[in-house]
Structure 1
Amino acid sequence: MDLETERQLWDEVRRGNKEAFQSLANPLIPRAYRSAYMILRSKQLAEEAVQNALIELYSAIINGKEVIHLRAWFGHLIALRALDVARKERGYKYMVDINGLEFQDGSASPLDSVLKKEQSERLIESIMGLELNQRIVVGLYYFQDMKIEEIAELLDIKSGTVKSRLYHARVKLGGMLRRLQTSTKEITII
């Protein structure tokens, strides 16, 4: 969506047009949900984080806040709301249920699609096995496309800490995926 269209939608939302808000927010939701799910490991908690971020987006529009890059701003917002929920639910026991997640792919054949979905599900399961600090940086870096410096600023930690957490998460994920590969020969690591 170009900047001019986005601004027109913001104006329409300010005038009370609910469809304009849907047009503005709907493209942001799938990516936001995936990121929140990566951090929280719970569908319900991810939905709560996304809902909180959408409420904040709506409030920002109504209150006249100027946002230049909506997608990036909303990515930061969803990360903050997911962290808020994670802090609130710290003692909550997480149940990983990836059956409902859809991984879209432009593969040429149905077999390729099935194999890719299976690989994606195993990758998600492996990410869910990471510690919270590692899951957060992996989710922000790979699913929100945030830069290391942005993650450091958002989490109020040093860039080196972000790099370290990413490194250790990658090492741990590599080990998990290698174990999965040896137990089920059909996985290929990309």
Structure 2
Amino acid sequence: MNESELIIGIQNGDADSFSRIFDRYKARAVKTAYLITGNQATAEDVAQEAFVKCYLEIRGLKDPERFKTWFYRLLVRTAWRHSKLENRNIPVSDLPEKGDWNREISSEQMYLQQEMSELLYRQIQRLDEKKRTAVMLYYYGELSTKEIAEVMGCLEGTVKSRLYFARKILKNNLERLNVKGEEYYGKAGYESGH
């Protein structure tokens, strides 16, 4: 059964369809909420609240094809609200890196990557909420700029602009700190043509 059929099933009261959507999105929802709120327990609460809202409001979703962005909009707004209440940072050691997970690397390379990841993450946390959310959804949540625009309730050009300026700010801040992160930029997708 494809996702649109599951959504129609949920709208018609089918609990099994909701269970299948929940299983499909739970891990991603918690991860995204964690990246925004910085707290595992809060992330789980945010995801749970988003799924409850989803269940209660899904009948209002006119186009089942748009479920993913509709759900992420619920999730992100709930996470923003919780984040403002708690105002916590994400422990850098828990932040997953995007890249080649199967590649063998030396302990020195692993240490340098961890150091760069921590430094980059601290700089990401200094971005304003909208730029930071766009970066998190694009690079860690792997949503397209079009999907992020729908989630954040803005134009796709606005998302591209936020990503462009976020990359520029991050690059300038790292250069100011005398960090040579060209290799890391390429791995994380921070090259200017991305």
Give TM-score scaled by structure 1 length: 0.65
Aligned with 2:126 (options 120, 124, 129): 129
Taking the aligned partners of 1:8 and 1:132, their CA distance within structure 2 comes to 34
C-alpha distance 103-151 of structure 1, shift in aligned 2 (>3 A): same
Deviates more, 1:168-177 or 1:103-112: 103-112
Aligned with 1:23 (options 20, 25, 31): 20
Where in structure 2 are the equivalents of 1:29-178 lying within 5 Å? 29-60=26-57, 67-87=64-84, 89=85, 92-103=86-97, 105-111=99-105, 115=110, 118=114, 122-142=119-139, 143=141, 145-147=143-145, 151=149, 154-155=152-153, 162=159, 164-178=161-175
C-alpha distance 34-125 of structure 1, shift in aligned 2 (>3 A): farther
Q: Secondary structure at the match of 2:93?
A: coil
Taking the aligned partners of 1:131 and 1:137, their CA distance within structure 2 comes to 10
C-alpha distance 164-72 of structure 1, shift in aligned 2 (>3 A): closer
Taking the aligned partners of 2:163 and 2:103, their CA distance within structure 1 comes to 33
Amino acid at match of 1:48: D
C-alpha distance 126-71 of structure 1, shift in aligned 2 (>3 A): same
Taking the aligned partners of 1:121 and 1:27, their CA distance within structure 2 comes to 30
Give TM-score scaled by structure 2 length: 0.64
Q: Secondary structure at the match of 2:127?
A: coil
C-alpha distance 124-43 of structure 1, shift in aligned 2 (>3 A): farther
Post-superposition offset of 1:105: 5.0
Question: Percent identity at matched positions?
Answer: 24
> 1:7-54 CA deviation, whole Å, 9 max, x = no partner?
58637x93444xx53431223233333332333333333333212111
C-alpha distance 160-14 of structure 1, shift in aligned 2 (>3 A): closer
C-alpha distance 127-34 of structure 1, shift in aligned 2 (>3 A): farther
- The answer to whether the 8 A contact 1:41-1:96 is kept is yes
> 1:158-189 CA deviation, whole Å, 9 max, x = no partner?
7776555433322222234443744xx89632
Taking the aligned partners of 1:134 and 1:16, their CA distance within structure 2 comes to 37
RMSD: 4.1
Post-superposition offset of 1:81: 1.5
Q: Secondary structure at the match of 1:111?
A: coil
Deviates more, 1:113-122 or 1:21-30: 113-122
